[in-house]
Amino acid sequence: MKGFRIQTAFGLLLACVLSSCHLDLIGLKLAPGWQARSLIVYRRAEHPDMIVTSRDGRYLFVSCETRGGGINPSLIRMDLKNNHRAILIKGLIRADGLKLGPDGSLWLGEEFANGLIWRIAEPEHLIPEQEISRPDMNPDDPAIATLPVAGRFSHEGIAFSYDGRYAYMADEWEKGCLYRLDIRLMKLAVLNESGAWVTITNPMEARQQAQLLHGRRFNRIEDMETLPDHRILMSETGTGRILALDDRDGSTPRISEYLHNSRLYHPDNLAWDSKRNWLWITDDDKPSILWAWDGSRLMRIASHNKAEITGVLAAGDNIYINLQNRSNGPELTMRLYEKP
């Protein structure tokens, strides 16, 4: 009987871990009405950051902000149908920015001064364990290619215009600028202080040219998100506010303040929730907080005292986040959902 009780207790404990019940084993504190479940448990410090889904919703892709080197993962794919996890790419330096392009390709950005954009065609079918020698910049698989025309700078924020013509990218730096790539013409431009797009003639020296062209400076834009009304949101973490870029006519860009709330300290990742008409915001503070903005209220949905909440993604009923640099256990990718 004693052995039965021990086995039963262990079974209940395991069930609680798998269902993320409120024993505070993970340390994620949720607002009433919300539940969480672990999807990916990372074996070592793989620093999961941004999250996107494939167009059909079957796969999750997660960028890993690790140092360069053949053993360090840069991009992970998870099959939500069978929970199979695979490391797709290794070796990039601080892979962070991640967005699904208009053609279904993945754009993966490196967050450091000499960072580049890497484009992965048909990521659902990419053979796992692709190792990239960053100094050579010559992947073995032709589905992976650099996009030097997208500029060399600290790539984190990436967004696409609603019509798919432009890619917008921000240099995540205290003096970083905002760039626009014409995908059809493959020409890069920077937004200057007068509010005009000015051509960058040498994208591999984008940061230096932007300064010479009087590029408008921002204080560390972390992420970007396209709204249904075609505006581009930008989280400027150095000021604690979220800006909106209106570039719908392609020639007269306008930037306004979308959200500035005293409770929001270091806005990081953004995700538009088309089901609820909410904007999800991760706050890289202590504790790290997951906020939801409904247009009038800033709601605290989740928080963690010993991990950074990163990579928020809204997909139907589900909200996906990462717990990065978790000091009380392994890093995790989580699924949040409302209780029935």
Q: Which residues, at least 6 apart from 22, have a Cβ–Cβ distance to it below 8 Å?
A: 30
The confidence score (pLDDT) of residue 235 equals 98
- β-bridge pairing 106-110 and 95-100: antiparallel
What integer is the mean pLDDT of 87-99?
96
SS3 73: strand
Report yes or no: 242 and 259 within 8 Å, Cβ to Cβ: yes
Alpha-carbon distance 93 to 116, whole Å?
Answer: 9
The confidence score (pLDDT) of residue 6 equals 41
Q: How far apart are the first and last CA of the chain?
A: 37
The confidence score (pLDDT) of residue 70 equals 75
Tokens found for residue 247 = 């570039």
Q: From 315, 314, 324, 317, select the one nearest 291 (Cα to Cα).
A: 314
* β-strand partners of 298: 293
What integer is the mean pLDDT of 33-62?
96
What integer is the mean pLDDT of 43-72?
93
Whose tokens are 């005009």? That residue is 196
- Per-residue pLDDT tens over the stretch 120-161: 999 999 999 999 988 888 888 999 999 999 999 999 999 999
Report yes or no: 326 and 42 within 8 Å, Cβ to Cβ: no
Q: What's the pTM?
A: 0.92
The confidence score (pLDDT) of residue 245 equals 98
**Measured CA angle at 319 (ends 313, 325), to 5 deg:** 70
Whose tokens are 């990081």? That residue is 268
Averaged confidence pLDDT in the chain: 92
* Architecture of the domain defined by 38-280: 6 Propeller (2.120)
SS3 254: strand
Domain locations in the chain as residue ranges: 38-280
Report yes or no: 299 and 31 within 8 Å, Cβ to Cβ: yes
Alpha-carbon distance 13 to 17, whole Å?
Answer: 6
Alpha-carbon distance 198 to 155, whole Å?
Answer: 19
13 pLDDT higher than 60? no
What integer is the mean pLDDT of 193-209?
97
Q: How far, CA to CA in Å, does 178 sit from each of 70, 184, 224, 256?
A: 31, 19, 11, 14
Alpha-carbon distance 234 to 260, whole Å?
Answer: 12
Tokens found for residue 94 = 């601080």
CA dihedral 111, 312, 268, 19 (to 10 degrees): -110
**Measured CA angle at 48 (ends 44, 53), to 5 deg:** 135
Alpha-carbon distance 45 to 59, whole Å?
Answer: 22
Report yes or no: 116 and 135 within 8 Å, Cβ to Cβ: no
